[in-house]
Amino acid sequence: MAAVRTRSERALNRVAIAAVLVITLIFLAPIYWITSTAFKPRNLATTIPPTIVFQPEVSPFVKLFAKRSQLRERPTPEHYAAAPWWERLVFDGGEKVVRSGRGEVQLSGYPSRFMNSLIVAITSTVLAVGMGTFTAYGFSRFKVKGEADLLFFILSTRMLPPVVVAIPMFLMYRAVGLNDTHWGLIILYTAFNLSFSVWLMKGFIDEIPKEYEEAALVDGYTRMQAFFKIVIPEAATGIAATAVFCFITAWNEYAFALIMTNRRAQTAPPFIPSQVGSGLPDWTVIAAGTFLFLLPVAIFTFLLRNHLLRGMSFGAIRK
Amino acid sequence: MATVVMTSLDSKSRAFSRGLSDIKIRNLFIVPTILFLIIFNIFPLIYSLGYSFTDFRASTNAPANFVGLRNYRELLNDPFIWSNFAITAKYVIVSVAGQVIVGFGTAMLLNRDIPFKGLLTTLLLLPMMLSMAVVGLFWKLLYDPSFGIINHALGFGRFEWLSNPDMALYAVAITDIWMWSPFVMLLSLAGLSAVPKHLYEAAAIDRAGPFYTFFRITLPLVAPILMIAIIFRTMEAFKTFDLAYILTSQPTTEVISIRLYKMAFQEWQTGRSCALAYIVLIMVLAITNIYVKYLNKVKER
């Protein structure tokens, strides 16, 4: 096929390359725009025409982390000239971070929400992948009565709309005091990710030859030892890929977090939109919060790009 | 061959005498997961089935009264609920159609000899890895009528995307298309790469035109996997909550999940909302059934 290349075929290919590049640029533009807004001084965030070229600033990030009430002081030109460079960085639109009485800047709500997101996403990922790996091994290596039905049951738990499950969960959590706690969200996200983890891990474990463990059993290992010393290391990349998928899902979840938390255990997805308010929002600060929130997912996407196809189409295209 | 079987039997019987038996290990590995999923998925559903026959309100301490099928009867006779379903259906059709056109089109382009194909595919995956709530938030900035980059780029002036009731649902769908076309693209790409090359060679020898090749070879062979992508996206779009809720609060974008959320957590009509949740659940199960049926059909090939 490649050998018989006509001139029109090559021209067509060039058009396709150009089209793909344009599509990619259009798809990345929104992400570029939010990232660049995160580094803009406030007065350039909402200009018409939009500002493309500007001097990047870190002031949106400073404002993101500092309590709003401490962003009042207006610097005079002398004040500005006398300030050390790191303070100059945060001068913006006449605002400057003012140190509180105790000599420290008080933190805004964002860092704690970010930490909550980390705690909930990491813990639920460890639980879902751990349980999922055991269960997948069980299904992969042993005869299970009604295996297909059980696997379908596991998958079906992911098909329910979150809002449908959220109403009874809210009532149950309120009754047992799990509302607005880290564990409340962790349990929900574990349940949500478990089905996915079982299906994905079963695919990975099915591909490890049974003979490996059988050889180990002959060598005098117990089944448990064979599982931990042979199967787990062989499945390591699969476990890593599954973990990242579970992490991203838990990290991005919104509906449950909105319903089940309000202050103590609130994660970033319901918090960031709640900061828009009704007046003129400071889009640079919102963009900074968004940018930091997207960063882990963007990094994982690049690290795990080769596993993405398989994960995203889990079960759907499996034989 | 016989020796392999012998060894495997032998090792199994020896493992049986050492440590835990295989059956115990199997149960230890599988039962906790099944129990966990029953407790946190099935039990809540049974719990809410009970409430769906009552007039319970979670905001008051008043005891729940049994009202029989009244909640269901009223909901099914409520034209507003049906309009929520109609909005959801419209949203599903527009956004899934858009994703198929953009996603499949991009996959067709990427299926050629494209330099940096891997990198471009990875870059295109980024939107679907993001949080829908946060995506909704930053698209609000992009859609802004006075300083949004979209109006500026398209030269639309002060076009209202989100506050115009006729446009808002399409604006939400456009954002959804941006987010999920890459998913359709990924599956289509997998399908396209599985089409045997010799079919195209045979078509080239027969001097078949590009249209004939596309409709007689490419499309029929990619159809099953494309269908799976469509069913998958339909299910997801039917559940939509975050994107529409964050982007706009128009009555014309009130999909069924938003109606359900408002009924349960703003109006605190807990019993009624449990009944609505069940109606939605039955619809999801119906869609899921189609999905599984199709999945089995594809497996048989």
pLDDT in tens, A22-81: 999 999 999 999 999 999 888 888 887 777 888 888 878 888 887 765 555 555 666 666
In a domain, A19, yes or no: no
pLDDT in tens, A141-167: 998 888 888 988 888 777 788 888 899
Least confident among A25-39, A118-132, A242-256, B287-301: B287-301
- Chain A interface mutation, best of B12, B31, B38, B40, highest count of A Cβ atoms under 10 Å: B40
Which range marks the domain in which residue A217 is found?
109-315
pLDDT in tens, B270-286: 999 999 999 998 988 88
CATH no. for residue A286?
A: 1.10.3720.10
pLDDT at A228 over 60: yes
How many CB pairs below 8 Å do chains A and B form together? Answer: 289
Q: State whether ipTM is beyond 0.90.
A: no
In a domain, A262, yes or no: yes
Give the one of A160, A220, A283 whose C-beta lies nearest to B141's C-beta: A283
Residue A304 binned pLDDT confidence (cut-offs 50, 70, 90) = confident
In a domain, A205, yes or no: yes
Which residue did the predictor score with more confidence, B67 or A4?
Answer: B67
Residues of B within 8 A of A50 (CB-CB) are 147, 149, 152
Residues of A within 8 A of B106 (CB-CB) are 20, 23
Contacts (Cβ under 8 Å, ≥6 apart) of B133: A252, A254, A269, A270, A272, A273, B242, B243, B246
What's the pLDDT score for residue B190?
A: 85
Residue A317 binned pLDDT confidence (cut-offs 50, 70, 90) = very low
* Token pair 């905001």: residue: B59
pLDDT in tens, B29-41: 999 999 999 998 8
Beta-bridge mates of residue A66? A107
CA–CA distance, B280 with B81 (Å, rounded to integer): 11
Which residue ranges form the domains of chain B, and what is each CATH number?
22-69 (no CATH), 79-300 (1.10.3720.10)
Mean predicted confidence (pLDDT) in B74-94: 95
In a domain, A256, yes or no: yes
Residues of B within 8 A of A259 (CB-CB) are 261, 265
Q: Do B190 and A309 touch (CB under 8 A)?
A: yes
Amino acid in the structure at residue B237: A
In a domain, A310, yes or no: yes
In a domain, A306, yes or no: yes
What's the pLDDT score for residue A105?
A: 64
pLDDT in tens, B123-178: 998 999 999 999 999 999 999 988 889 998 898 888 899 999 999 999 999 999 99
Total number of domains constituting chain A:
1
Q: Do A33 and B288 touch (CB under 8 A)?
A: no
In a domain, A294, yes or no: yes
Report residue B16 as tokens. 């049986």
Contacts (Cβ under 8 Å, ≥6 apart) of A96: A71, A73, A74, A75, A87, A90
pLDDT in tens, A236-270: 988 998 999 899 999 999 999 999 998 899 999 99
Q: Do B47 and A168 touch (CB under 8 A)?
A: yes
pLDDT at B212 over 50: yes
Residues of A within 8 A of B126 (CB-CB) are 27-28, 31, 298, 301
